[in-house]
Each structure stands twice: as structure tokens, then as C-alpha cells.
Amino acid sequence: MNNLPTGDNLRKKKGFIGNTSCITCGEEETLKHLLFRYNKALEVWKLCPWSITFNPATCSSFRESLQSSFAKVNLPPTRTSSNLFPWICWSLCTSRNQILFDNRQASPAEILTKSINLLKEWEAAQGLSPTLSASTAKQNPIQINSTAVILCNTDAAWNKDSKSAGLAWIFTDQTGKELNRGCLYQDHVSSPLMAESLAVRADIEHATSLNFDYIWLRSDCKGLIQSINARQRSVELFGVLADIESLIRSSFSSFQASFVPKSFNGPADSYDKASLCTKLSLLGLVSH
């Protein structure tokens, strides 16, 4: 990146004596300015679908920003866990070239959309995207939508003696503000894994009833999340996972499922236990 033909590099390394200012704002065109300082770049980073907002004003160098970007988590509708940062940087550079050589302007949303689609095409070419071929990526490019991503934390508590479970889920926006929640007591539950699966199905059904469109499901049951993402159905969970897959396909514009440690799933964990204990108390199966 440090060898990109920015105005600063053309002047210092190539001895260019013409106008090397930024074509859009007239300021000195350094790499830092091109990627992190000029107005269009700021708008692109503001739209970037990461779980934690990226502030380009804090970037001291491209190298440090690249290193820190590997810790960022992509939100829907990206449908990828790969690092989006270098592709955004590349698209910012090529959009500047389009202005310079073709007099063509791209909006911030178009630049970000292009970045995501380039990443998806690269993943498909590398064999990293088993459900999306390179041709499919071009035919069905991902589009950035301003609709807020809804975070859905779900959990289940299972009672071995009664073979019952408390299911719970909490919907929040990206700032952590709670939007809605739900819980359910379930009899005849065969295992803790079945309880977790039933909680996810109930969560998705509730999200559908609320007309949520962009969903990020989060559970501390790693095996279940892997089954949902890989579309694998064990004998025990076959029917429930089939229901979940059908709901995902028919109800949402974008869906992502991620494993989170139990320490990040505290509210849902407490809620399901409370639901189970309350019901069992009413049935006289646990003491008050």
C-alpha cells in the first residue's frame, strides 16, 4: 500500500512536479488521507458492517490499522467472516482512479458493496465459500441496506429429572439497547442440545413475527451453531434443524449465526433459568 501512486508518493519518489493534491478536496494526497481522512472515505468507514464502530481518525498508520482489523467481526449482510478491511482500502483506491481517469463518481454505499462482493468472489475462487460459487457471487451480489441488524442472543436451561427446559431469547440493536425478549417452557425435551435447538427455533419464529429482516443469531452452544452453518442435521435434531433452515430461507433478507462464549450471553442465560425455575416451582417440582 505504501507504494500506491498517491500524490505524495508521485512527488517524493517519482519527482512529479504537477498538481499532487487530492482531486476531491484539494488537500495533500497521502496514503492516510486517501484511506482514512477525506470525506468519502469517512462515509465508507461509517457504513462498514462491523460489530464495533471503526474510527479512522484514530489510525496512525495503515500497518497498524490492518493488524487491528483482523479482530473485527463482520455483521450481516456480509455473510463472511473474512477480513473486509483490505478490500475496502482497495476499493477506495480504485474509486479515486475512476474519478481521476474516467470522471466517474461512486457513492460510499457503492464502494462498500463493491468491497464485499470482491471479497466474496475471492473467497469463492479460493474455495473458502462452499455455498457460493464465483459465478453465483457475480449474479447475486450483496447489497448494503440501511436496515439495522438485530442481534438475537438465545439460550436454554435443561432439567435432567423432569426432562423439561426453559427457552429464552433477547433481541437488541447494535448499541445494546433491548428491543424485545421472549421465553418458553418446554416439556419432553430429550437433551441439553435439543433444548438449545428448540430455543433457536422459538427465537427465529419470534423474530419472524416481529418482521425483523437482518438477523445475527448468537448462542453459546458451539455444536448447534456449527450444525446450522454447515446445514448438518443429526438424527436427534433433524426435524428442529429442518424447521430452522426453512424459517431462515423464507423469513430474512440476511441471516448469520455465531458462537459466543457464555460470558457474553449472560442475560439470555439468566432469563432461561428463571423461566425454567418459575415453571417447575408452579408444578411443585422444585422448592421455593
Which range in 14-28, 94-108, 144-158 is most confidently predicted, on average pLDDT? 94-108
Interval 45-61 mean pLDDT: 83
Residues in the chain: 288
Tell me the per-residue pLDDT of 192-212, one tens digit each, with 9 for 90 and over. Answer: 999 999 999 999 999 999 999
Which of 96, 116, 101, 99 is CA-nearest to residue 49? 116
Supply the CATH classification number for the domain 150-282.
3.30.420.10
Interval 136-163 mean pLDDT: 68
pLDDT at position 51 is 73
* Spatial distance between the Cα atoms of 175 and 245, rounded to a whole number of angstroms: 28
For the chain, the three-class secondary structure string (H helix, E strand, C coil) is: CCCCCCHHHHHHHCCCCCCCECCCCCCECCHHHHHHHCHHHHHHHHHCCECCCCCHHHCCCHHHHHHHHCCCCECCCCCCCCCCHHHHHHHHHHHHHHHHHHCCCCCHHHHHHHHHHHHHHHHHHHCCCCCCCHHHHHHCCCCCCCCCCEEEEEEEEEECCCCEEEEEEEEECCCCCEEEEEEEEECCCCCHHHHHHHHHHHHHHHHHHCCCCEEEEEECCHHHHHHHHHCCCCCCCHHHHHHHHHHHHHHCCEEEEEECCHHHCHHHHHHHHHHHHHHHHHCCCCCC
For the chain, which residues make up each domain, given as ranges?
Answer: 7-139, 150-282
Interval 60-83 mean pLDDT: 78
What type of residue is 41? A
* Spatial distance between the Cα atoms of 34 and 105, rounded to a whole number of angstroms: 15
Tell me the per-residue pLDDT of 87-121, one tens digit each, with 9 for 90 and over. Answer: 999 999 888 888 877 888 888 888 988 898 888 88
pLDDT at position 4 is 55
* Cross-strand pairs, 166: 157, 185
Mean pLDDT of the chain: 77
The answer to which of 49-63, 206-220, 235-249 has the lowest mean pLDDT is 49-63
The answer to which of 43-47, 79-83, 119-123, 162-166 has the lowest mean pLDDT is 79-83
Interval 163-182 mean pLDDT: 86
The yes-or-no verdict on residue 175 having pLDDT over 70 is yes
pLDDT at position 17 is 45
For 19, the grid coordinates are 498538481
- How distant is the alpha carbon of residue 272 from its chain centre? 25
pLDDT at position 101 is 78
Interval 16-24 mean pLDDT: 59
pLDDT at position 209 is 93
Interval 69-84 mean pLDDT: 76
Q: Are 237 and 201 in contact (CB under 8 A)?
A: no
Tell me the per-residue pLDDT of 227-285, one tens digit each, with 9 for 90 and over. Answer: 888 777 788 889 999 999 999 988 888 888 888 877 766 666 666 565 555 554 444 44
Half-sphere exposure (Cβ direction) of 110: Cα atoms closer than 13 Å: 8
